[in-house]
Structure 1
Amino acid sequence: MRPLAILGGTFDPIHIAHLAVAWEAAELLDADVRLMPAAVPPHRPPPIADATTRVAMLRAALRGQDRLGLDTRELARGGPSYTVDTLAELRAEEGDRPIVLLLGADAFAGLPGWHRWHALFEAAHIGVLSRPGVARDWPAELAEQMVARQVADPRQLCGRPAGKIVELDVTPLDISATRIRDLLAAGRDPRYLLPEALFDDPALLAPYREHDFRERLP
């Protein structure tokens, strides 16, 4: 059964690095990947763009894709976007299908600070998006889980619905949403950092151009 992989985030805005790692994960795992925008991320400030605009950007960026899709359940649910609740919903829907939560290495290192983080392994595998050749020192609690759960071959995830950890070497793209927001606020067009479809509708990027102007008002 082809795994279902989940890539969460604020996507404020969605940029090329998001799409690149989602696509590489789809290939490495032979999985369908859903991008899942968070409503109220518990560990960071709220997004600048509202939910409707972020969904519109994602739909534009994903147009024509076959293996990358969109899941808006956290926006529909509202409130803090706790990943453990989302994965429990998905597990109830998907039965024994392998589910893989995709996390960047920095996010994975902070996993012990997440809400009910041990319960994540009951609902999903975790795919750690890593830079090739870069070794990491994980926190002790996490290192224990790595010893018990890590597998080397992504294909090993297909035999069970949840509970394993695999590192996925993906191409590092040093693209920051913060930098993109700064460029937009300065009136610049960050071409080739954002999906081209986002420039087709000026309303999609308007929140970032207007945000800095409002902040400078006396």
Structure 2
Amino acid sequence: MALHLVYGGTFDPIHNGHLAIACAARDALACTVHLMPTGDPPHRAPPGADGATRATMVALAIDGVPGLVLDRRELERQGRSYTVDTLAELRSEIGPSTPLAWLVGADSLLGLPGWHRWRDLFGLAHLVIAERPGSALDAELPAELAAALQNRWTREAADLQSQPAGRVLRLHQPLSHVSATAIRAQLSAGVPTGGQLPPAVAAFIHEKGLYGAAARAPL
């Protein structure tokens, strides 16, 4: 069965670093990547743009990109949006034997023990970890997290196809210093984002004046 891979995030805004990760995962795992903007993320401050707007930007960014699709399910859920609930919903849809994976950044993995029912995630899906520059994955992990990940790590994409859940794979991809936080600050200050955004997303942000961007500010 084909792997069902979900890339969750606030995408506030989606940028070229996000697209590079999604395409690297698509190619490495030979599957479609479902980009899923979060609804009300309980583990961080509210996003700068509302869910519908962030979904629109994701749709603009992936338009015409093979193997990348938008999944709006978390935006359509009422109340707080927990990953464990999303994965349980997906598991009920695709069945118990279909391989399911959740793609997250290394910083999210390191914060995993603070997530709601985080230990249940491993029974629902694999984790695919996209590293960031300066990632601490090669350093000593917190004891609780290290114990939970013991014997789950794999270097082989095929291991994610051979069972429905429970493995953890580090995604080899071009590391990017692009940051949504820095992009929002640049937009607010009227500083050009220097090609860090897909052109259609940059145009939409300036058209709508998102993140304090001026309608005619340089891209």
2:44 counterpart of 1:44: yes
Q: Does the 8 Å contact 1:62/1:68 carry over to 2?
A: yes
Given that 1:36 and 1:74 are in contact with CA atoms closer than 8 Å, whether structure 2 keeps it comes out as yes
* Equivalent residue number for residue 68 of structure 2: 68
As a proportion of its length, which structure holds more helix? 1
Structure 2 match to 1:168:
171
Judge conservation of contact 1:32–1:67 (CA < 8 Å) in 2.
yes
CA shift at 1:126, angstroms?
0.6
Query: In 1, distance between residues paired with 2:202 and 2:11?
Result: 16
Q: Secondary structure at the match of 1:45?
A: coil
Question: Which stretch of the first structure deviates more once superposed, 165-174 or 12-21?
Answer: 165-174
CA distance in 1, matches of 2:208, 2:36: 19
Q: Is the 8 A contact 1:152 1:166 kept in 2?
A: yes
Alpha-carbon shift at residue 97 of structure 1 (Å): 1.7
Shift of 1:102: 1.0
Which residue matches 1:215?
none
Contact kept? 1:42, 1:81, Cα under 8 Å: yes
Alpha-carbon distance in 1 for matches of 2:211, 2:117: 34
Which residue among 171, 185, 190 is the counterpart of 2:188?
A: 185
User: Which SS does the other structure have where 2:209 is aligned?
Assistant: helix
Q: Which residue of 1 aligns with 2:108?
A: 107
Q: CA deviation at 1:15?
A: 0.4
How far 1:204 sits from its partner (Å)? 5.7
Distance 1:106 1:117 in 2: 15
**Alignment-derived partner of residue 125 in structure 2:** 124
Deviation at 1:205, TM superposition (A): 5.0
Does the CA contact (< 8 Å) of 2:40 and 2:80 recur in 1?
Answer: yes
SS in 1 for 2:130: strand
Q: Is the 2:84–2:121 Cα contact (8 Å) retained in structure 1? A: yes
* CA distance in structure 2 between the partners assigned to 1:138 and 1:30 by the alignment: 30
- Return the alpha-carbon distance in structure 1 between the equivalents of residues 14 and 77 of structure 2: 21
Asked whether the 8 Å contact 2:132–2:177 carries over to 1, the reply is no
Residue-by-residue CA offset, 1:151-209 (whole Å, 9 max, x unaligned):
22111110111111111122110011111111111223314100111134356651212
Structure 2 unaligned segments of length 5 or more: list them. 215-219
- Residues of 1 paired with 2:123 and 2:207: CA distance? 37
- Note if contact 1:198-1:204 (Cα within 8 Å) is conserved in structure 2: no
Correspondence for 2:145 among 114, 119, 142: 142
User: Which consecutive segments of 4 or more residues in structure 1 shift more than 6 A?
Assistant: none
Corresponding position: 1:79 with 2:56: no
Percentage of identical aligned residues: 45
- 1:89 & 1:204 partners in 2: Cα distance? 36
Q: Give the 3-state SS of the residue equivalent to 1:42 in structure 2.
A: coil
Query: Residue 52 of structure 2 aligns to which amino acid in structure 1?
Result: T
Q: Which residue of 2 aligns with 1:20?
A: 20
State whether residues 184 and 190 of structure 1, in contact with CA within 8 Å, keep that contact through their aligned partners in structure 2.
yes
TM-score using structure 1 length: 0.89
Residues 173/205 of structure 1: CA separation in 2 closer, same or farther (3 Å cut): farther
Compared with structure 1, are the counterparts of its residues 8 and 144 closer, same or farther at alpha carbon in structure 2 (3 Å cutoff)? same
